[in-house]
Structure 1
Amino acid sequence: MKWKMKEVVLAVILSVACGVIYLGWSTLWIPISALVGPVGAGFMFGIWVIASPIVAYIIRKPGAAFIAEVAAAAVELLTGSHFGLSALLVGVFQGIGSEIAFALFRYKRYNLFTLMLSGALAGVLGIVYNLVANGFGYYTTGVFFATLAIHIISGAILGGWLGKVVVDALAKTGVLEQYEIMKQTRKKGEINGNISRM
């Protein structure tokens, strides 16, 4: 499926906006992590993957989730993230995880379950990155499973569910009328209308 210029522009705008949010979230993570520890601060994780479900939900094309997450992570890096290059590298892994959720359904399902699965799988692949980058001794067994569980839950809620809430709110303003999300919504409305008249 070919991307239209307006889709590219929207993906860039949203990815840049998310990247700036990621940077602010990274800054906030420092004091919170100091207070509750890195595992406890894991509940914040989901915001770092919200670009993927937001852009994929609107544009509904293969690669949208991956591109959005990598672009947002690149913006976070370039705007001065204290995580340095790892902000971009983990973004690649998270983007792959997020993309897998949509690929599993052949890019035909963009409901709440798929969006939450996207955030959850981004969490799984984010942990995979940590293992690759830091080695298997990075976590004790208990810390590993606790961190994994927190990241999956946070990714599903703050990434997937919140991403849907944000996009649905945007859709109500009419700014997404020319994008695939609204085209498919109108199509479903027509089908349901025809069924009810039968």
Structure 2
Amino acid sequence: MTWKMKEIVLAVILSVICGVIYLGWSTLWIPISAVIGPVGASFMFGIWVIASPIVAYIIRKPGAAFVAEVTAAAVELFTGSHFGLAALLVGLFQGIGSEIAFAIFRYKRYNLFTLMLSGALAAVFGMIYNLLAKGFGYYSTEVLLTTLGIHIISGMILGGWLAKVVVDTLAKTGVLEQYAIMKEKRKKEDANGHVSGL
């Protein structure tokens, strides 16, 4: 599917906004992790993958989730993330995981389940990056499973569920009228109206 210029522009704008949010969230993570520890602070993970479901939910094109996450991660990196290059590299892995969620359903299913699956798979692939970067001996089995579990739950809630809430709220304002999300919604409404009118 060919991307339209307006879709590219919106994807970039939203990804940049998310990237700035990622940077702020990264900064907030420092004092929180210092107080409750890195494992405890894992509940914050989901915000770092919200770009993928937001952009994919609106544009509904192959590659949207991956491009959004990588772009947001790049913005976080170049605006001064203390995570350095790791911010971009983990973004690549998270983007792949998120993209897989939509690919599983052949880019035809954009409901809450798929968005939450996107956040969950982003968490799994993000952990794969951490294991490769830090070494398989970095985590004890207990810490690994606990961290992964919290990341998955956070990815589902702060990544997937929150993305749907944000986009649905934006949709009500009318600013997304020219995008796939609203076109699909109108098709469903027309179909339901036609059936009920029989």
Shorter chain as denominator, the TM-score bin is: over 0.9
Aligned to 2:30: 30
Aligned to 2:159: 159
Q: Which amino acid aligns with 2:25?
A: W
After TM superposition, the score normalised by the length of structure 1 is 1.00
Q: Which amino acid aligns with 2:139?
A: Y
**Distance in 2 (alpha carbons) for counterparts of 1:133 and 1:188:** 45
**Distance in 2 (alpha carbons) for counterparts of 1:37 and 1:137:** 19
**Distance in 2 (alpha carbons) for counterparts of 1:170 and 1:190:** 21
Q: How much does 1:138 deviate?
A: 1.1
**Distance in 1 (alpha carbons) for counterparts of 2:156 and 2:116:** 4
String of CA shifts for 1:84-143, please: whole Å, max 9, x gaps: 000000000000000000000000000000000000000000000000101101100000
**Distance in 1 (alpha carbons) for counterparts of 2:133 and 2:149:** 20
After TM superposition, the score normalised by the length of structure 2 is 1.00
Aligned residues: 198
**Distance in 2 (alpha carbons) for counterparts of 1:82 and 1:68:** 21
Pairs within 5 Å for 1:183-194: 183-194=183-194
**Distance in 2 (alpha carbons) for counterparts of 1:161 and 1:133:** 29
Pairs within 5 Å for 1:1-198: 1-198=1-198
**Partner of 2:137: helix, strand, or coil?**
helix
**Distance in 2 (alpha carbons) for counterparts of 1:87 and 1:75:** 9
Root mean square deviation, CA, Å:
0.3
**Distance in 2 (alpha carbons) for counterparts of 1:35 and 1:138:** 21
Q: Which stretches of structure 1, 4 residues or more, deviate above 2 A after TM superposition?
A: none
Which residues of structure 1 form unaligned runs of 5+? none
**Distance in 2 (alpha carbons) for counterparts of 1:183 and 1:100:** 23
How many percent identity over aligned positions?
Answer: 81
**Distance in 2 (alpha carbons) for counterparts of 1:5 and 1:23:** 27
